Structure 1
């Protein structure tokens, strides 16, 4: 039987701790036998999980005896990981144990150095911080999870469930994983990555900036096909001067700012209206619905219709 050890640290996020316990604990083989042995491991017998206290029956030594270790996120990932925990994870990895993190658990896994030189993900809100703290890790903020073979990372808490189902499919095949997904009332695979959950806000110009009027004009004319020359003429600047001012004050170019604004408006229309995709494409300045779909998928990571299915409120 495959043993899954779930590492519990103080401030562990309860949902991220209980999700793998529930998913792996309820997975059954075709003959009805349990597929996994689940153990909660900790450095101390008692762990503070905020809403409740956990009594861990296994210590850190049990990590090296597991086939898979799950590292859930903590409420404050900036709190240093105890050196004994880092050493235990490194020993387990040296013995070939598979290690997966959920959400901010990527910070704790990265602290071991085991993710150096590898691609990884975490919740999109913390992705930039993870990349800044651990520059040797290639952080991808757009995906639900990353599988590097021995080391895996997932995005937010819900993506931890995607990762658990992926591990079950790796271990036992699609049929067993599909049964586990049904028990969790969850699709075995979700369309798109976490890019669709990112709020693509456009940086505003500082109050009183010479760009304020032209940015308001752009926001009011999203339905027009505008070129860089059109924007420069409206601003009364050369294209070179316009680019310079935009980069200094927003960190992006005029056309990139315009495209991001259009995508954000398209997201709003997909969420709040029943307008056909073709109409929304025209409303946000794309003469071709095909060009709109391509741009939207490049930025958001999924199609406009799939985004609407996921995020539009009930009529």
Structure 2
């Protein structure tokens, strides 16, 4: 089943409304907002590597408010336990039954703040819920509902007392990006509104939470011709052969790439993916999936420079049929 022109137009208009609405609280950061909305509608998760005070929490709260969903914030610390995330089963003496008490992962948007400060055991507790949208406690599974998105943050500066995320967990994040500091004009505008301590509170819902699932279903129907699929596959193969790369793009990473490209294309009113969509999403999709070897890291080679090499080495499809 293909997307109609009317559906593509509605999707693009609604997408722009979502981005503009979040932009009420996050000023001057349209690119990262578009990436976050793309993650949400692709049913993926976002990793933000950024300095403190750049608006990561505001982004998560604003996105949840925009889709009329719920939001929770979990501060990851070394003593955080898996049960603190997913919940615990408690015995009710009066009813003589066990009752499951939900943890903070049961929300539309979950902000996992400074995820690399928790132990690997606690980090791994997020894996099932990120991949399956459910948790298992005492042999029973509990769905967290839809839509569901994890926005995890890590501080790139202070590495003392942190636990590096393993590659298998990094691969669970659809994208990696950063909010960054605003420019001078936006900074002055924010300072003029210093009395407003919660800008996310000004964000009103644009669509209902169940409409997110409908938009995700539309995005799944976007056409991707075989030449584009081969393009993504060749980029992944080239990443594994690159002299600076120890671990390249996985098949799961390629699948995530295609899902995100479908949403990205439809957000621009197109019912088909073009090579430019692949190029636009290259850095947020690929950078955290490329593990550089020790020599490259010592020499100061960046994942972004490797991505440039990949696109220079692999020719984009010239023709498109839709």
Scaled by the length of structure 2, the TM-score of the pair is: 0.27
Query: Highest CA radius of gyration, 1 or 2?
Result: 1
TM-score (norm 1): 0.27
